[in-house]
Structure 1
Amino acid sequence: MKEQKSIQLEHIRHWVKEALTNERTGHDWQHVTRVAKLALYIGKTENADLFIIEAAALVHDLIDAKIALEHRLEIQEVKEQLASFGVSHEQIRQIADIITTMSFRDRERRAEKPLLIEGKAVQDADRLDAIGAVGIARTFMFAGAKGNSLYGTGNSAYAHFSDKLLLLKDMMNTETGIKLADERHEFLLRFIRQFQRETSGLDCETS
């Protein structure tokens, strides 16, 4: 059984890598591999099902509306592909439940259906990758891909910090996620302070 799961995960990795390698909004294969690694780390501390966690982390962005249509799939397509790799009906149901309920934008609509520990691990990992140094880099990568400005408008990269990123630390589900989020959040705050100084010209002033 362990060998079978390893083979299935290898198939999933290859499939997702092919699908997202050229993705340009920061929801690419590198993002997916970071989320999977973080999610597994969190899952191990929570005694969760590591197969479900890794599989869900690997496929979580394939249905994300933020990525380009050329990379995006419908949830049914994801289910069918997982089934072709021999993933069981029950496992596919669990994976689908995670990736269709973990989105930040759906947090209020999905509040009536709390995530299980596997989903909480993947959601924490995805949110961790949105803050800290890599989260900052992804924010500007996304803004560039979408043609949004650096700052000064409602859709700017800078607006995303207050709209979403600064909220994530207090939305972690697990003790491990909370601990990991603290350092990344502090880095985010330091960056914002320096960004504000530079964009307002305060760093040009002399005493």
Structure 2
Amino acid sequence: MTTDRQAAYEAEVLRHWAGQSDGAHDLAHLRRVWRNCQKIARAEGGADLEVLLAAAMFHDVVNLPKNAPNRAEASRLSAEVAVAYLAGTDFPPQKLPAVAHAITAHSFSAGVPPETPEARILQDADRLEALGALGLARMFYVAGALGGGLFDPEDPLAQRRALDDRAFALDHLEVKLFPVAEAMQTAEGRELAQQGAEWMEAFRARLLREIG
């Protein structure tokens, strides 16, 4: 169920996204991350859901392309946009730093360690999107958008070459996605991530059989 506050956050994010089109980072993605946040928060306990809702809705409000030279700044810029907007609402001002930190720390490329329950939960919730069937769909979508191939037909597992996930989508499993599954911050996140990683490994095995 979408609350009035969530609806207002979504409308503000869509205003910032006007003219953009990214199927891997859209309103459905934000809603799934928020659902993941709630699932993990219920299992872990101790998180502020008011902070988590705001952080989940605004974590990708500044959405820079994967190949942008300043990609690592996207989460910090998103945090700034979120705080500026929330400061003009009835959102508790004392919670703004927690929202900003959770958004900044969620990003893989930013390299900011999560230091609060909300930051750890948001990071895990967002990274679950990169795993399982949905993660594979997003992986191939992004690779296609960046002009990459599906896999190296001569050496799909990179046994005789260096991994290159910009050239071959399948390489992204080893370059980023399997390591992400091993680095989750919460117990619930780790369990869900393991399930997703096992599914991706099974998919890769099936793909390799099909291509011989």
**How does the TM-score come out when normalised to structure 1?**
0.80
| Alignment counterpart, residue 97 of structure 1, candidates 76, 97, 101 | 101
- What is the distance in 1 between the residues matched to 2:51 and 2:99? 6
Once the two structures are TM-superposed, the CA of residue 80 in structure 1 deviates from its matched residue by: 1.3
- What is the distance in 2 between the residues matched to 1:34 and 1:181? 15
Partner of 1:121: 121
Partner of 2:155: none
**How does the TM-score come out when normalised to structure 2?**
0.78
Once the two structures are TM-superposed, the CA of residue 171 in structure 1 deviates from its matched residue by: 0.9
| Alignment counterpart, residue 5 of structure 2, candidates 3, 8, 32 | 8
User: Which has the bigger relative contact order, CA under 8 A and spacing at least 6?
Assistant: 1
| Alignment counterpart, residue 77 of structure 1, candidates 67, 75, 81 | 81
Once the two structures are TM-superposed, the CA of residue 151 in structure 1 deviates from its matched residue by: 2.1
Once the two structures are TM-superposed, the CA of residue 184 in structure 1 deviates from its matched residue by: 1.0
Cα pair 1:24 1:145 within 8 Å, conserved: no
Deviates more, 1:53-62 or 1:18-27: 18-27
Cα pair 1:27 1:67 within 8 Å, conserved: no
- What is the distance in 2 between the residues matched to 1:191 and 1:173? 25
Once the two structures are TM-superposed, the CA of residue 19 in structure 1 deviates from its matched residue by: 4.2
Pairing 1:63–2:62 present: yes
| Alignment counterpart, residue 178 of structure 1, candidates 178, 187, 190 | 190
Once the two structures are TM-superposed, the CA of residue 78 in structure 1 deviates from its matched residue by: 2.7
Once the two structures are TM-superposed, the CA of residue 34 in structure 1 deviates from its matched residue by: 0.5
Partner of 2:28: 30
- What is the distance in 1 between the residues matched to 2:28 and 2:14? 9
1:141-156 map, 5 Å: 141-152=141-152, 154=164, 155=166, 156=168
Once the two structures are TM-superposed, the CA of residue 122 in structure 1 deviates from its matched residue by: 0.8
Gaps of 5+ in 1: 1-5, 203-207
Percent identity, please: 30
Q: Deviations over 1:49-98 (max 9, x none)?
A: 111111111111123433699xx765433321122233233222111111
Cα pair 2:48 2:118 within 8 Å, conserved: yes
- What is the distance in 1 between the residues matched to 2:79 and 2:181? 28
- What is the distance in 1 between the residues matched to 2:52 and 2:195? 24
Cα pair 2:139 2:172 within 8 Å, conserved: yes
1:153-168 map, 5 Å: 154=164, 155=166, 156-168=168-180
The letter for the 1-side match of 2:117 is: I
- What is the distance in 1 between the residues matched to 2:78 and 2:57? 15
